[in-house]
Every structure is written in C-alpha cells, then in structure tokens.
Amino acid sequence: MIKIDHLVKNYGATRAVDDISFEVAKGEIVGLLGPNGAGKSTTMNILTGYLSSSSGRVLVDGLNVLDAPLEVKKRIGYLPEQPPLYLDMTVEEYLIFVYNLKGCTLNRTKHLEEICEVVKLTDVYHRLIKNLSKGYRQRVGIAQALIGNPPVIIFDEPTVGLDPKQIIEIRNLIRTLGRDHTVILSTHILQEVQAVCDRIIIINKGRVVADELTENINRIASNCNRYQAKICGPQREVLAMLRDRADVAYAEALGARDGDAYVYHIESTKGIDIRKSLFYALSAKGWPLIGLETLGMNLEDIFISVVDKTDESAAPKAKGKKGRQRTFEKDLAQSILDATAAKQESIAPYEGDE
C-alpha cells in the first residue's frame, strides 16, 4: 500500500531523513518510534505530500506522491503533530469545512455523523473548538483525518498531551481503525506501539535502525536469559565464581545490598536456563541464594540498546561511557540492526537516485 524508497530530506545543511526505505502492506498498523528529532514528522510530511523530498520516492497505492499529489492526498487521512484546527469554529462547522475542502462526495450528514460516532464527538458537535479540552480537540483532528474515508491513516503523535484515560480511548480507536485501514502512527511512547501496532520501525538520526513485527520483538524480549540474583557471601568471590562459569555470559554486582547479601545481574549463555545449576553451585560454596528473578526485556530496553548502538557506531568516542553495556543487549541490538539493514538493502533503489 505504501512504499518509501531511499528517501532523503535535507533542511539546508541538516539531513533530517537519511535514506529511509520501508513498505507497509494493506491493513497493517505500523508504529514509527524514535527519539525527538529522529525524522519521524519529516518522513510523515513527505509521505502525505506536505513536504517535498530531496531525493527518493514515495508510492501510495502505486501512485507517486510527486506525480499525483491530489490522488494521493485523497487516499490519506493525516493528523499532523499540530492539528490544523480553527478554534473559532464549532466542531460541526469545522468538519463541514474540511468535507468541502476535500471535495468529499459521500452523503455529508450521514458521513459526519458516523465519524463523530466513531471518535465520540457527538456530545460536543455544536460547541466551539476553542472551548474543548485537549482530548476532544485531538478527536476533532482525528475526525478531520477520517473524512472521505481514506484507506490510509497517518497519525503523528496522536496521544501527546492527553491524560491516561484519553490515551486509552484514542488507542482503542486506532485499533478499531486498523481493522479496515492501513495505519502509520508515530510516537515516543513505547507501550503505545506495543499495544496497537503490528510492526515497529525505529528511526534514529534519519535512518531506519529497526524494522520488526511486534510479535517478534515481544518474543525476543521474553526469550532473554537475564536474571537478578540475591546471594549471601563475599561479593568479590561470588562475582568471580559467577564470571568463571561457562553458562554465564555476563555478570555484574549491582549496588543494592541486603544484610550480607548482594544483588547481581547475570546473563546466561545463549539458550541456557542457569537457575538450577546456579542454586547447586552456590549451595556447594556455602553461599545461600536468597532471591532469583528472571528478568524480561521490554521494548524500552530494546529501543535504548538499538539507539545507543547506532549512536555509538556514529560517534565511537562515546564508547567508554557505554563500555559497561550488557552483552545480551548489545548482541540483540546488533542482530536487530543487521536484520534491518538486510531488509533495507532488499528494497531496490529508485533509478532516479545517484
């Protein structure tokens, strides 16, 4: 449905988007994640035809955004980071204004009623937009995007500034829309993409650094062999013993202490569950194991390790600081980066480039 092909955008000397490629299939809900300034909004603005690219191309439903800007715009409902609301209009006036602007031909009253039902705006339909709360204004922004029933929906930070209850409502709404639309949304709230997206694309410094199905990310995250152990005994010797073990890939003593027990972060060698053997080994040494917890990894850990890893290779000077980063996360980040790079390579470059 959407194909972004070696996209580059320069703002003067700043390269905001640096060779981004990805494809989105019909019906997919894709989350664009990335730190502030990563290039998410710029990418979305190019995709929707609001900005031109410096090079590369964007196809929506087989149409090039540059060749058929109006046709493409008809297929896309866009909620920009700052929704273009006219505060002195009522919700009704504004939606009718957008309806006319889009040259929509659906039955107006029925269409707007249906949209307001979906985004729950019916109660405030006759109120002035300036008197609405942030949450309701955001819904007006979403309603405006849905006018004309476009098959592709693009939301830039749809839940920013909303309270937790509103966030859940908007998320549910996005999930509902995902049933019969192709959706791309950007956010820096990680749980958000995990909750609603089929696929996660992480952008850092204008580049795609990760592109994975959410279920794969969840599987990777739960498959990691990381433990937090509380062990009584001399810290230095315990640590040395842990590091000596063949089934331990990484061990570190954490600051926490509980009487004569210290807390350790342990990562086992790939695929090995060390819990039982660790118990016997410590018992043989006379060092009671009084706590052992398996640690999952969350999207946040993955996000940070992937972003750190790319920052590190871009600026090797920062290495000292990151030197203590855990091996598991480093390996994982590298494997995600490698898989993503391969995926990016597989998208054939546009003949018009270089």
**Nearest of 226, 279, 235, 282 to residue 254 by alpha carbon:** 235
- Cα 213 to Cα 197: distance, rounded to the nearest angstrom: 9
- Considering beta carbons, is residue 38 or 183 the nearer one to ligand ADP? 38
CB of 82 or CB of 222, closer to Mg ion: 82
Q: Which of 283, 326, 303 is nearest to 200 (CA)?
A: 303
Query: CB of 246: closest distance to Mg ion in angstroms?
Result: 47
Q: Which does 37 bind (CB under 5 to 8 A by kind): Mg ion, ligand ADP, none?
A: ligand ADP
Counting residues that bind ligand ADP (by CB under 6 A) gives 11
The interface partner of residue 242, options being Mg ion, ligand ADP, none and the CB cut-off 5 to 8 Å by kind, is none
146 counts as binding ligand ADP under rule CB under 6 A: no
161 makes contact with ligand ADP (CB under 6 A): no
Answer for the pair 20, 208: CB distance below 8 angstroms, yes or no.
Answer: yes
Please report where in the chains the tokens 């909750």 appear, as a residue.
195
Cβ 41 to ligand ADP shortest distance, Å = 3
Residue from 41, 48, 187, 214 touching Mg ion (CB under 5 A): that is 41
Residues 36-75 interacting with ligand ADP (rule: CB under 6 A): 36-42
Should residue 182 be labelled a site residue for ligand ADP when binding is judged by CB under 6 A?
Answer: no
Which of Mg ion, ligand ADP, none lies near 261, with the C-beta cut-off 5 to 8 A by kind? none
Q: What are the residue ranges of helices labelled H in the chain?
A: 40-47, 69-75, 91-101, 108-119, 134-146, 164-178, 190-196, 214-222, 235-244, 275-285, 299-314, 319-322, 327-346
On whether the CB atoms of residues 227 and 292 are closer than 8 A, the answer is yes
| Choice between 41 and 138, CB closer to ligand ADP | 41
- Report the residue from 31, 34, 77, 150 that binds ligand ADP according to the rule CB under 6 A: 34
- Check if the beta carbon of residue 297 is closer than 8 Å to that of residue 267: no
For ligand ADP, which is the closer residue by CB, 249 or 307?
A: 307
Q: Is 187 in the site for Mg ion (CB under 5 A)?
A: no
Q: Supply the DSSP string of 90-151, one letter for each residue.
A: BHHHHHHHHHHHTT--S-HHHHHHHHHHHHT-GGGTTSBGGGS-HHHHHHHHHHHHHTT--S
With CB under 6 A as the contact rule, which of the stretches 9-17, 162-170, 239-247, 334-342 interacts with ligand ADP?
A: 9-17
Listed ranges 35-43, 196-204, 271-279, 304-312: which one lies at the site for Mg ion (CB under 5 A) = 35-43
Could you count the other beta carbons within 10 Å of the beta carbon of residue 256?
11
* Residues 6 or more apart whose Cβ sits within 8 Å of residue 148: 74, 77, 99, 102, 104, 106
Stretch that binds Mg ion, among 36-44, 132-140, 233-241, 314-322 (CB under 5 A): 36-44
- Contacts with Mg ion, residue ranges (CB under 5 A): 40-41
Residues that bind ligand ADP (CB under 6 A): 11, 14, 16, 34, 36-42
